[in-house]
């Protein structure tokens, strides 16, 4: 109560000045607004924007914690400190606190930079526009560290956050007005501006880049290979990870995208909380399965041989595509963004299906980086209003036909 009272006194002291929006923004961010409506009919509900955002963050926390553990595990595995999960799952070395702490000290700075820079921009725009701070970045700030490599330089992340928040959201009017998913806009900026830090076999394991530089300088060390499963398949090589590794998440990848199990649990939590759209999640999986089956059929027919550069990913079991890369995380936490996704029920089915379908298509044919969920979601963000438009127009035409039939 002391902090709240002090903030209230500062609000009164600076009321009517240029700094008033800043104190209003801080007060609104920390506490519920103390304003009440004065006229009109209103619907009261327990959920507001802040509670909704907090619910989504809660769904992502397990992915964050596991990402910290997996970052340390992958590092220790590559430097030879522990055995592979299949050989040492129940060993004390595998569950050692050191695995978690290595990832913790590497990932926490990513979270701090993401929230610090992003919320700083939100407060700046709140002061400029003279309104309370918008809580929309609460979720974006958590998403960003989960969809980048563990070794991404902090200054690159900061630059990308500035671009994503300003160009991806504030230019369109702020929370609720953006066309593109802000977190994916940030990742897309990193992908195109700094491609060597968003692809390859060195950026996915903590310390791999640093060790590579030391070896180049003449150090007598073993190289660390952090190649993802998608990277392995794209090169036509055999995958050494088991299906259990893929599902549980003991594989290299972006911080929060590796554990399909925890992502599914987070998705179920969002569905039961009536925040995430099960239609989008389900239809996206269906679209991915359909595209995967098409590729498997092409390989089975003999149209693609083992000498083709596309053979590795096209011959992958269709359901494996759901477990590897960023597909599961993107489908659950970003394709379902209520601002940028389709709003009509039929539109959600179409929107989700096309995301899944295009994700696998781009993943297979992308010459630069074997992944497609980011580009697929951003593309469908652009087409979501068009999908809803034609769905609504179709319903209008059906009703007009029924009305004419009744009149006749």
Over residues 166-177, the pLDDT tens digits come to 998 888 888 788
Q: Strand (E) positions, 161-316?
A: none
Rounded CA Rg of the chain: 24
Residue 221's pLDDT band (boundaries 50, 70, 90)?
A: very low
Look at residue 360 in the predicted model and tell me its pLDDT. Answer: 96
Q: pLDDT tens for residues 313-351?
A: 999 999 999 999 999 999 999 999 999 999 999 999 999
What share of the chain has pLDDT > 70, as a percent? 76
Centre a 10 Å sphere on the Cβ of residue 269 and count the other Cβ atoms it contains. Answer: 18
Q: pLDDT tens for residues 161-205?
A: 999 999 988 888 887 889 999 999 999 999 999 988 887 666 667
Look at residue 219 in the predicted model and tell me its pLDDT. Answer: 44
Contact call for residues 110 and 215 (beta carbons, < 8 A): no
Buried b (16+ CB within 10 A) or exposed e, 137-159: bbbbbbbbbbbbbbbbeeebbbb
Residue 39's pLDDT band (boundaries 50, 70, 90)?
A: low
Residue 118 has pLDDT above 90, yes or no: yes
Residue 35 has pLDDT above 70, yes or no: no
Q: Strand (E) positions, 5-144?
A: none
Residue 53's pLDDT band (boundaries 50, 70, 90)?
A: confident
Q: What share of the chain is helix, strand, coil (3-state, %, to 5)?
A: 65, 0, 35
Domain residue limits, the chain = 49-216, 276-400
Look at residue 402 in the predicted model and tell me its pLDDT. Answer: 84
Look at residue 83 in the predicted model and tell me its pLDDT. Answer: 54
Across 60-74, 87-101, 275-289, least confident range: 87-101
Model's pTM, two decimal places?
0.86
Distance CA 21, CA 48 (A): 21
């Amino acid at each position: 109560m002391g902090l709240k009272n002090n903030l209230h006194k500062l609000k009164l002291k600076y009321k009517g000045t240029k700094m008033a929006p800043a104190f209003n923004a801080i007060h609104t961010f920390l506490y519920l607004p103390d304003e009440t409506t004065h006229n009109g009919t209103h619907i009261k509900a327990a959920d507001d924007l802040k509670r909704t955002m907090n619910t989504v963050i809660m769904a992502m926390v397990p992915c964050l914690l596991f990402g910290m553990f997996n970052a340390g595990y992958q590092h220790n595995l590559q430097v030879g400190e522990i055995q592979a999960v299949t050989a040492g799952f129940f060993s004390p070395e595998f569950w050692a606190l050191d695995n978690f702490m290595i990832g913790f000290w590497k990932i926490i700075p990513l979270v701090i930079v993401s929230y610090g820079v992003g919320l700083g921009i939100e407060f700046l725009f709140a002061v400029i526009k003279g309104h309370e701070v918008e809580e929309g970045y609460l979720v974006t700030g958590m998403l960003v560290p989960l969809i980048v490599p563990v070794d991404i330089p902090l200054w690159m992340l900061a630059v990308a956050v500035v671009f994503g928040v300003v160009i991806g959201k504030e230019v369109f009017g702020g929370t609720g007005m953006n066309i593109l998913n802000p977190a994916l806009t940030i990742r897309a900026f990193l992908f195109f501006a700094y491609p060597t830090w968003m692809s390859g076999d060195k950026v996915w394991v903590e310390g791999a880049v640093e060790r590579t530089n030391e070896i180049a300088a003449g150090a007598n060390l073993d190289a660390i290979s952090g190649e993802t499963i998608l990277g392995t398949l794209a090169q036509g090589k055999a995958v050494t990870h088991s299906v259990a590794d893929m599902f549980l998440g003991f594989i290299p990848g972006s911080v929060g995208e590796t554990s399909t199990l925890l992502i599914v649990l987070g998705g179920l939590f969002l569905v039961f909380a009536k925040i995430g759209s099960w239609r989008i999640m389900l239809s996206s999986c269906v679209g991915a399965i359909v595209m995967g089956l098409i590729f498997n059929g092409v390989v089975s027919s003999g149209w693609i041989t083992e000498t083709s550069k596309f053979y590795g990913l096209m011959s992958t079991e269709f359901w494996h595509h759901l477990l590897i890369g960023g597909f599961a995380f993107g489908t659950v936490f970003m394709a379902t963004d209520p601002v940028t996704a389709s709003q009509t029920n039929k539109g959600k089915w179409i929107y989700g299906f096309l995301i899944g379908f295009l994700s696998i298509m781009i993943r297979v044919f992308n010459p630069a980086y074997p992944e497609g969920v980011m580009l697929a979601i951003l593309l469908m963000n652009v087409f979501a209003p068009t999908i809803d438009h034609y769905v609504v127009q179709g319903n209008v035409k059906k009703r007009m036909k029924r009305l004419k039939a009744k009149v006749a």
